[in-house]
Amino acid sequence: MAASTRFCVAVHILAALALQRGKPVASEAIAASVGTNPAVVRRLLSDLARAGLTRSQLGKGGGAMLARAPKKISLLEVYRAMDEPAIVAPPRSTADQTCLVGRNVQPALRRVTDAAEAAFFEKLAGANLKQIVKDIKADDMAA
Amino acid sequence: MAASTRFCVAVHILAALALQRGKPVASEAIAASVGTNPAVVRRLLSDLARAGLTRSQLGKGGGAMLARAPKKISLLEVYRAMDEPAIVAPPRSTADQTCLVGRNVQPALRRVTDAAEAAFFEKLAGANLKQIVKDIKADDMAA
DNA sequence: GCAAACCGTAATAGAATTAGTTACATAAAT
DNA sequence: ATTTATGTAACTAATTCTATTACGGTTTGC
């Protein structure tokens, strides 16, 4: 199964907000930068707001903005806000419980995959939105 | 996106083979343990064989067996054999290249996600099939 | 040699997930 | 009031997995 692209789009959105330094940005403007539909952006913003990472101002002149300084927003928080399913998913079919392997493989395997996922999350926890914004600027200068 | 369940099924298959210690196991027997169709198992075995982890004996009395000792089969090899897509997938839509963020977010983000995926893989590399089999037996005793 | 058991692979169908679109009620600003 | 935006629901389209069916090819054992 493929990984969700929602996380990448969410980071794109947040980076765009960070560059506006608190000025409300309309979902339509963000959607133009991402290359998608405004409603898709609003749906993601809804998730981000629920996670406390952004807030929106309704009405004319409104839009989304960061709820905190970019430095205080870790990429793990963004990932979590997306409610992604586990990286390694157990089979949908149910294994034969009368079989030694069928009864016990998945729990045994999960110990390993849980540790692997934890390592993945730790790396995301170590990165924050400010770094991304900094890299965006630096890369653009270099190009 | 969600993660593929193929990896978990592959480990199930390999664990079942390991417990038979070299005796060929028919895809139908494995399928019964996993709770799926024999053709699904054969397809996965085909991938595992291509990766050099198993081999199959054709004809009557044939079946699949491990190509190496369980201790020499790391879970990372199994994962790689499945040809899973990247854990973090970039958006399908193309970002606006005239926008500072649109031009540069994804490469900047990828540096972080590549490091996170590498950490994930390292953990899988540190586990092998023998440990899984051992845990299967131990868990069953404990239950 | 022939039948039986089994693999390998292709083709197709069915399920489930995800992204995209449209629509509209609500809220703030001027 | 009117305009501009959000938030959310409902629906459609696209994609991706998994499951199933089918069949040609291989080995074993009589």
What is the total count of domains within chain B?
1
Q: Does A106 touch chain B (CB under 8 A)?
A: yes
Q: Is residue A119 part of a domain?
A: yes
Q: Is residue B65 part of a domain?
A: yes
pLDDT higher than threshold 60 for residue A2 = no
Q: Is residue A1 part of a domain?
A: no
pLDDT at A1: 45
- Give the nucleotide at minimum CA-to-C1' distance from B5: D17
pLDDT at A3: 58
Q: pLDDT tens for residues B26-60?
A: 999 999 999 999 999 999 999 999 999 999 999 89
Give the span between the Cα atoms of B2 and A92, in whole angstroms: 13
Q: Is residue B1 part of a domain?
A: no
Residue B77 C-alpha, separation from nearest chain A C-alpha, in angstroms: 14
| A85: nearest CB among B2, B101, B107 | B2
DSSP state of A72: G
Instruction: Write the CATH number for A81.
Output: 1.10.10.10
What does B48-107 look like in DSSP terms, one character per residue? HHHTTSEEEE-STT-EEEESS-GGG-BHHHHHHHTTPPPSSPPPSSPP-TTSHHHHHHHH
Q: Does A66 touch chain B (CB under 8 A)?
A: no
What the block records as the tokens of B99 is 């926008």
Full domain range(s) for residue A32: 6-142
Q: pLDDT tens for residues B55-109?
A: 999 989 889 999 999 999 999 999 999 988 889 988 988 999 999 999 999 999 9
Q: Is residue A124 part of a domain?
A: yes
Sort out which chain B residues have CB atoms less than 8 A from A101's CB and list them: 12, 15-16, 19, 33, 136
DSSP state of A56: E
